[in-house]
Amino acid sequence: MSAPSGAAAPVPLQPAPLLQHFVRVYEERLLVDIAANLYREFARGGGIQREDIGQLLSHFPPKVVEGVFARYDQAGRGVVDARAFLALVRYLNFGNGFCDSCFAPIGEHERGFMCLECRAGGYILCARCYPRGVSGEVHPANHRFVPAQEMLEMLAPPPEDRDQLPNGVGVFLRTHIATLFAQMDTDRDGRISQDEFRAFQRAQGCADSYIDFLLSFGGSPNGMISKKELLYLVTGQKMTRQCDECGALKF
């Protein structure tokens, strides 16, 4: 992406509530782009067909994809239109995983229960299967469960952990940031240097002045960029707009 040379100094980005808001706005835009591109490529006969959905979302368990498809195929025709497909992508992105008993997806605002003894494996049950888990029917009876949201808060990385993305960032954005990070981290040391960041942006057609603008949003004192900081840099890049009068860039 090429960019004009005019750039005003931005306010340094910090992981504050306003920045989290911008991350969410950027994530919504990303989901629209993902859904639109998939729909454009795979839609036929009035929408996405049931037999094609597994190919589109192959990184999700087949039973989960089938369950979500049935949720949005409200007419029972075996097809979802563009609006329903976007809702389907959002549901998978912001969901709380899927039930390890019945494989039903657990939506963003739906209750799930995670096993305290199985926290490393992330065993989770939906509200319907939870009584069967407590009784020992589908899980050891001596295992304890807590609401999934409580578990996520317990396991949330501390604010100073620069390698973990904030809670609330969905599957697709996490995958997008991980892919970008792997592409930029050419020496595979788990950090992105400013030189690596510059090389990647130059390969995308960005001018040096624009790269300086992006880097001025901030980072660690040693000049290295973590995954969390890359998320904020990419958000800043996508939320930047150019003044039509003077060409200056503003966040």
Could you tell me the two tokens for 234? Answer: 């990419």
Catalogue all structural domains in the chain, each as residue range(s) with its CATH number.
12-94 (1.10.238.10), 96-155 (no CATH), 160-239 (1.10.238.10)
Round to whole Å and give the CA distance between 30 and 37: 11
Higher pLDDT, 4 or 247: 247
Alpha helices in 73-207 (DSSP H): 82-94, 130-134, 148-155, 171-184, 194-203
Assessment of whether the complete model's pTM goes beyond 0.75: no
Please measure the distance between the N-terminal and C-terminal CA atoms of the chain and give it in whole angstroms.
Answer: 17
At 247 the pLDDT is 59
Could you tell me the two tokens for 7? Answer: 């750039």
Could you tell me the two tokens for 42? Answer: 């795979």
Average pLDDT over residues 166-170: 80
The CA-atom distances, in angstroms, between 19 and each of 131, 172, 235, 236 are 40, 19, 9, 9
Inter-residue contact 233 to 225 (CB < 8 Å): yes
Lowest-confidence segment of 8-12, 35-39, 75-79, 148-152 by average pLDDT: 8-12
Q: What is the mean pLDDT of the chain?
A: 80
Could you tell me the two tokens for 66? Answer: 């089938």
- Taking the alpha carbons of 134, 138, 143, 149 in that order, is the dihedral positive or negative? negative
At residue 162, does pLDDT exceed 60? no
Residue-wise pLDDT tens digits, 93-140: 887 778 888 877 787 777 888 888 886 557 889 888 999 988 888 888
At 234 the pLDDT is 87
Helices (H) and strands (E) in the chain, counts: 10, 7
Inter-residue contact 68 to 48 (CB < 8 Å): no
Angle between helices 82-94 and 171-184 in degrees, nearest 10: 70
At residue 158, does pLDDT exceed 60? no
Round to whole Å and give the CA distance between 130 and 111: 10
Inter-residue contact 235 to 22 (CB < 8 Å): yes
